[in-house]
Amino acid sequence: MFEAPDDIVCFELGSNQLPWVGPSADFAQDYDAIQLLVQDGVVQYGVRDGEASISGVDRVGLLQLPSGRRIVIRSKIESLVLLDWLAFLGDFPPLDKWLADAGVITGDDFPTCLGRLFLRELESITRVHLRKDFTSVISDNSIVHGRILMSQLSRKLHCLPRLPQFHRSRTLNTPYNMVLALALDKVQRLLTKKSLSDTTLLARLRDEWSIIRRNILDPSRAVTEVQWGCPSGYRTALQLARLILVGAALDPEAGVGGQAFTLSLSSIWERALRQMINEIGGEAGWVSARDSDRTRMWDDSAGRNDPNRWLTVDVMAEREGVRWILDAKYKRAFGNESREDRFQMCAYAVAFDADVVSLVYPVSTKDFQRRVLLETKVGLKPITIDSLNLPMCAGPEFCKAALRSLSGSESSLQL
């Protein structure tokens, strides 16, 4: 296996890893692109004594710079665990059948892991499931197979007796095959590490899929549509293709994953926290609030009409008159909660009339802990503000069990 010598390999913040360091003069061609990544909160970039340093923030994946160099941002969470979180959220197929696959190992960076899984699924489709289907075709032919296109015929009478016509034909150029072919064109960018078998498989699949067209007018829409009507054996590969093409930063011209493939871990953590509370709610008696009820507007006209001033909580649940608010914080701050986060929780407690408000942090250890930050009363109502750590690196089932032990009806905590 190899890694390109000029790849910039760094880790997200909180990984206990030093930033990538190299000569700042090497970034003359890429400086503007890196500054845009800094403004978007994708990377941190600094220069000192002629040396540039780069770290990820809360996104992981791959970015290609104008010079052709690549920034590889690795997560503090192992690749297969991260994929397990995506499977938990329904963004990824279940991992059971891949866990014994020696070609996909926990230590791989996330883009390489994803690229290998896609190649293996596409190979399976090519060998077993590849199929033709009837699709609409526009062609020129001397034999009429369908509806003659009179508007086109009137513009090209000199071409007779070939007639422009619209008909249906059985072909490999189906929407789902074209989506997979488009993803195959992009997958090489994800393979920051390649073995000989990866290179061989990629070359063979490119040759076998070269006959399939890629002329999709709206790739993002096509990726969404094929998820709902795909043939047997295609679903897993199409889910992987969706991550490659749409789950990435989008190419503004092509409308699909272009020079970047990054996933927001803060977004994954927020969605996962909401999903975990929904799943344990039936057991513990908690009922999650509707999305519309998770936002509180201010009462003055300026605050009511400005969404940037609204208060929106990540999770709100109720049980027997007790209201519990949870706020997902994807950063390393458990045990050193910031002043801003503490005050934000106080604002949530007042605005939503909550009984318990929890800051929820992912941590790299495999222990679950709870810290009480404030116990007070507003009028006669007791309010608790606390801080929880959930071991994201242990996977969704472990974190869900920790929340279950905290929020269950038998829990000694006053929730």
Residues 328, 274: Cα–Cα separation, whole Å: 9
pLDDT given at position 142:
58
Looking at residue 110, what is its pLDDT?
A: 80
Mind listing the pLDDT tens digit for each residue in 14-37?
A: 788 899 999 999 888 889 989 988
State residue 210's pLDDT score: 92
What is the pLDDT averaged over residues 58-71?
85
Average pLDDT of the chain to the nearest whole number? 83
| pLDDT of res. 1 | 29
Percent of residues, the chain, with pLDDT higher than 70: 82
Those residues whose C-beta lies under 8 Å from the C-beta of residue 189, and which sit 6 or more positions away, are 62, 64, 70, 111, 261
* Closest to 37 measured CA to CA, from 48, 23, 17, 52: 52
Q: In the predicted model, is pLDDT for residue 185 greater than 70?
A: yes
From the list 352, 351, 350, the residue with the least C-alpha distance to 379 is 350
Degrees, nearest 5: CA angle 237-61-201: 45
Alpha carbon of 239 to those of 93, 99, 115, 224, 225: distances in Å? 7, 18, 12, 10, 12
pLDDT of residue 19: 93
Per the structure block, which two tokens stand in for 104? 């996909």
* Mean pLDDT of all residues in 361-388: 89
CA separation for the pair 405, 415 (Å, rounded): 11
Q: Residues 283-333: pLDDT tens digits?
A: 888 899 988 899 999 998 888 888 888 999 999 999 988 999 999 999 878
Question: Which region among 95-109, 121-135, 325-339 has the lowest average model confidence (pLDDT)?
Answer: 95-109
pTM of the shown model? 0.76
Cα 318 to Cα 355: distance, rounded to the nearest angstrom:
10
Where does the pLDDT of residue 255 fall: very low under 50, low under 70, confident under 90, or very high at 90 and above?
A: low
Q: What is the pLDDT of residue 131?
A: 74
More confident residue, 384 or 168: 384
Dihedral of CA atoms 206, 99, 277, 344 in degrees, nearest 10, equals: -70
Q: Sorting pLDDT into bands at 50, 70 and 90, what band is 3? A: very low
Name the pLDDT band for 164 (thresholds 50, 70, 90).
low
Domains of the chain (ranges; CATH) run: 1-75 (no CATH), 77-131+182-258 (no CATH), 133-171 (no CATH), 266-407 (3.40.1350)
pLDDT range class, residue 203, cuts 50, 70, 90:
very high
CA distances from 227 to 77, 85, 182, 267, 273 (A): 28, 20, 15, 22, 25
Residue 88 near residue 272 (C-beta atoms within 8 A) = yes
